[in-house]
Amino acid sequence: MKRLLRTREIWLGAAVAAIIIATELRAPGFGSLRNLMEVFNNTSILMILALGQMAVILTRSIDLSMASNLALSGMLVALTNAAYPGIPVPVLMLMATGFGLVLGAFNGALVWRLGIPAIVVTLGTLTIFRGLIFVIAGGQWVNADQMTTDFVQYTRIPVLGLPLLSWYAIAIAVGFFVMMTRTSIGRAIYAIGVNPTASVYAGIDVGRTKFLAFCISGALSGFCGYLWVSRYVIGSVEVANGYELTVVAACVIGGISIAGGVGSVAGALLGALFLGVINSALPVINISPFWQMAISGAAIIFAVVLNGRTNKSRGRLILKSAETVK
Amino acid sequence: MNDQSIAAPAGRKIPDRLDSPAKAAVFSWPSLLLAVAVGIFILNSFASPYFLSPWSLSDATFNFTEKGLIALAMALLIISGEIDLSVAAIIALASTAMGLALQFGVDTPGLVAIGVLTGVLCGMFNGFLVTRLGLPSIVVTIGTMSFFRGISYIVLGDQAFKGYPDSFDFFGQGYVFWVVSFEFAFFLVCALVYYVVLHRTNFGRQIFVIGNNPVAARFSGVRVERVKFILFCLTGLMSGLAAVALTSRLASTRPSIAFAWELEVVTIVVLGGVSILGGSGTIQGVVIAAFIMGLVTFGLGLLNVPGIVMSIFIGALLIGVIALPILISRLRQRMAK
């Protein structure tokens, strides 16, 4: 029980609950199941992205290209949908995921094969992917009237009261939990984050595991590309601009150590939910939405300070991610 | 460059004698970059007849001087093994502070002082969190990035500060001599100062030592935390100066000012040959990289390439310039076998 109280997931969950209750007191109705489901639905994409980012951060890398990957994959399926309305939406989903996977694999290959630090690679691909959106779309937007009903509905159809979008997030979270805790790949991802050198001696291919982590984050970004375009019914160059750092922020708040090897699926989900709850609580208690950015910034700083106090292992290692463990 | 120096990571061959200084200089990173810069320059002058005029070249410098100013300090910070992603947000906050002071009738000298001071304070805040509390700088500055810019949004919302005094225009629009803008001249002076600090002083030496091995640095009597704290303050200072220049050039302040510049600044630094892992890099490289960025964006601009497409070139340049030497040395190794 004492150990349980010390885990940050509990505290984070309590913080999320506290914000919900405090908001409910100021604005009754915020805590209703209906509204909370709405908040959850609004945060689904961030949760999925945070999981992908978690896999990468655990391996002592970082993927700054997620938002650009999302926007590019989203634009691709939006254009495909506009040009060939006959293609069924599940095929488009697969297409977005597959395309995102390829982009992620490109990142991963550069990190794995050439040993370039992940932060540099993804900084580069962040701008490249973003630029490619403009090229493939010719600078055009894809608007609501160009998308088929199915394309838009596949994130909205309610199943057991929850929209499909939320179910995707739940399914991916469950899948991720199983992968991270019950499979050898999940074990390997944690292991190389904790101690790359020891992992090599344990027979884990460090480079290949990082590559796989990037493939995972890429595939999830691609899938979210479809979700985003369908959810907000817009495909443009500006989609999710700057969102990569929000995703990292969700992970940091969720207690995933930037030094690698420390973090849990529940943490990533709660970190995302924390940001999501704040974002939806501010307007209902009549705080200008312009406060949002400063508050999430303060939350990140607070979370990092808290992190630094609980586990005193100084997490400065992100810049050392390319340790020569060949 | 011979095979021995390239094969260093693989085998542990120690050459009998080092390359001659001249040979080392020719094959150094800055020289490679200089060749790239000259190449882009020549391509540009062929591609557009408007490129080779003193005034358009002078205009080209505005593309990178503000980012270059920050890149100088960022280079030192990255060499020491830290990073500051909040620089663009510091610009926003410093610019907002100046705009706010303007509403109270503060005149030019006061505005500059406030802008610079805000920058330094932000840098101190980052430095405090990183060095006193021992937190990872990449996450801290992601947090302060939202925080600083967030304050600008709280103050300004969707409004803008305008109506800066005429004498304030000089910093971003003034010329000191013929086509040499104040900004550009200031950038060159700063580059010189940073060159001396990094490559010719004890303090600069300490930065390299810290970047290579902070523990060893501490044992050799380097005050690691203090040096890092100073570097964060310097980065804040340069962001404040950049804020003055940019605000003066745009003659207005919006909370979205300099959005996403942090990544471009880091790109300049990395392109300039500073190892993102810390411990190595030169100011010459960073200055040339700043020129390259300016030339590429300006040249493509003359060819009517939209800004978003330019980012493809810049991203590809970043990855390409780093990947190419690795690929070439691999190829050489394979050939040697």
Q: How far apart are CA A106 and CA A264, in angstroms?
A: 26
Higher pLDDT, A40 or B62: A40
Residue A224 is assigned to a structural domain of this protein: yes
| Widest Cα–Cα separation across chain A | 58
> Which percentage of chain A shows pLDDT scores above 70?
92
Kindly tell me if the per-residue pLDDT of A324 is higher than 70: no
**pLDDT of the residue at A315:** 41
**CB contact B131 to A (< 8 Å):** no
Around Cβ A283, how many Cβ atoms within 10 Å? 12
Q: Give A162-179 pLDDT, tens digit per residue.
A: 999 999 999 999 999 999
Both tokens assigned to B119: 């920058």
Nearest to A114 among B259, B309, B323 (CB): B323
**CB contact B291 to A (< 8 Å):** no
**pLDDT of the residue at A117:** 86
Angle between helix B65-79 and helix B202-212 axes, rounded to 10 deg: 60
Q: Give B280-327 pLDDT, tens digit per residue.
A: 999 999 999 999 888 888 888 888 888 778 888 878 888 887 788 788
Kindly tell me if the per-residue pLDDT of A317 is higher than 60: no
Is A126 in Cβ contact with B138 (below 8 Å)? no
Nearest to B153 among A62, A290, A301 (CB): A290
Q: How far apart are CA B234 and CA A135, in angstroms?
A: 39
Token pair 């500051």 is found at B84
Q: Are B92 and B240 in contact (CB under 8 A)?
A: no
Q: Give B11-52 pLDDT, tens digit per residue.
A: 556 667 766 777 777 777 788 888 888 888 888 888 777 777
Is B326 in Cβ contact with A115 (below 8 Å)? yes
Is A319 in Cβ contact with B276 (below 8 Å)? yes
Q: Give B321-330 pLDDT, tens digit per residue.
A: 778 878 888 8
Both tokens assigned to A34: 């209906």
**What count of CB pairs under 8 Å joins A to B?**
174
Nearest to B318 among A123, A288, A298 (CB): A123
**pLDDT of the residue at A206:** 93
Q: What values do phi and psi take at B181, rounded to 5?
A: -75, 160
Which chain B positions have a beta carbon within 8 Å of A308's beta carbon? 133-135
Kindly tell me if the per-residue pLDDT of A1 is higher than 70: no
Which chain B positions have a beta carbon within 8 Å of A239's beta carbon? none
DSSP A235: B
Q: Which domain holds residue A148?
A: 36-241
Nearest to A319 among B278, B309, B316 (CB): B278
Both tokens assigned to A12: 């984070």
Given this structure, which CATH class describes domain B3-336?
mainly alpha
Q: What is the mean pLDDT of residues A174-198?
A: 93
Q: What is the mean pLDDT of residues A24-31?
A: 86
**pLDDT of the residue at B4:** 39
Angle between helix A33-58 and helix A164-182 axes, rounded to 10 deg: 40
Q: What is the mean pLDDT of residues A254-274?
A: 90
Which chain B positions have a beta carbon within 8 Å of A111's beta carbon? none
Residue A282 is assigned to a structural domain of this protein: no
Q: What is the mean pLDDT of residues B195-212?
A: 95
**CB contact A117 to B (< 8 Å):** yes
Candidates B303, B268, B304; CA nearest to B286 is: B268
Higher pLDDT, A311 or A319: A311
**CB contact B257 to A (< 8 Å):** no
**pLDDT of the residue at A3:** 57
Instruction: Output the CA torsion sign for A167, A170, A174, A175.
Output: positive
> Strand, helix or coil at A281?
helix
Token pair 């400063």 is found at A294
Q: How far apart are CA A305 and CA B140, in angstroms?
A: 9
Amino acid at the residue B76: L
Residue A266 is assigned to a structural domain of this protein: no
Q: How far apart are CA A61 and CA A80, in angstroms?
A: 33
Q: How far apart are CA A104 and CA A18, in angstroms?
A: 37
Kindly tell me if the per-residue pLDDT of A318 is higher than 80: no
Q: How far apart are CA B110 and CA B114, in angstroms?
A: 6
Kindly tell me if the per-residue pLDDT of B173 is higher than 80: yes
Token pair 């995703």 is found at A247
Q: What is the mean pLDDT of residues A156-165?
A: 90
Distance to chain B for A162, nearest Cα, Å: 32
Token pair 């990190």 is found at A111
Q: How far apart are CA B13 and CA B250, in angstroms?
A: 55
Both tokens assigned to B158: 């969707």
Kindly tell me if the per-residue pLDDT of A59 is higher than 80: yes
Where are the domains positioned within chain B? 3-336
Q: What is the mean pLDDT of residues B124-152?
A: 91
> Which percentage of chain B shows pLDDT scores above 70?
94
Q: What is the mean pLDDT of residues B241-264?
A: 90
Q: Give A82-108 pLDDT, tens digit per residue.
A: 999 999 999 999 999 999 999 999 999
Q: Are A63 and A52 in contact (CB under 8 A)?
A: yes
Query: Looking at chain A from residue 251 to 280, which residues have their Cβ under 8 Å from any Cβ of chain B?
Result: 252, 258-259
Residue A297 is assigned to a structural domain of this protein: no
pLDDT band at B6 (very low <50, low <70, confident <90, very high): very low
Candidates B91, B71, B93, B122; CA nearest to B241 is: B91
B175 has which bridge partners?
Answer: B181
**pLDDT of the residue at A284:** 85
Residue A16 is assigned to a structural domain of this protein: no
**pLDDT of the residue at A325:** 38
Candidates B36, B85, B263; CA nearest to A121 is: B263
Non-local CB neighbours of A239 within 8 Å, separated by 6+ positions: A70, A71, A74, A75, A133, A228, A229, A232
Is A304 in Cβ contact with B263 (below 8 Å)? no
Give the CA angle between residues B64, B307, A130 to the nearest 5°.
110
Q: Are B123 and B93 in contact (CB under 8 A)?
A: no
Amino acid at the residue A173: A
**pLDDT of the residue at A309:** 65
Q: Give B56-115 pLDDT, tens digit per residue.
A: 888 888 889 999 999 999 999 999 999 998 999 999 999 999 999 999 988 999 999 999
Non-local CB neighbours of B39 within 8 Å, separated by 6+ positions: none
Q: How far apart are CA B189 and CA B89, in angstroms?
A: 25
Q: What is the mean pLDDT of residues A109-131?
A: 90
Average pLDDT score, chain B: 87
Average pLDDT score, chain A: 88
Q: How far apart are CA A304 and CA A310, in angstroms?
A: 10
Report the DSSP pairing between strands B180-181 and B175-177: antiparallel
The number of domains in chain A is 1
- Show the beta-strand stretches assigned E in chain B: 175-177, 180-181
Nearest to A295 among B144, B150, B314 (CB): B150
Least confident span in A215-229, A240-254, B24-38: B24-38
Which chain B positions have a beta carbon within 8 Å of A258's beta carbon? 136, 138-139
Q: What is the DSSP string of A123-171?
A: HHHHHHHHHHHHHHHTT--B-GGGS-HHHHHTTT-EETTEEHHHHHHHH
Residue A193 is assigned to a structural domain of this protein: yes
Kindly tell me if the per-residue pLDDT of A322 is higher than 60: no
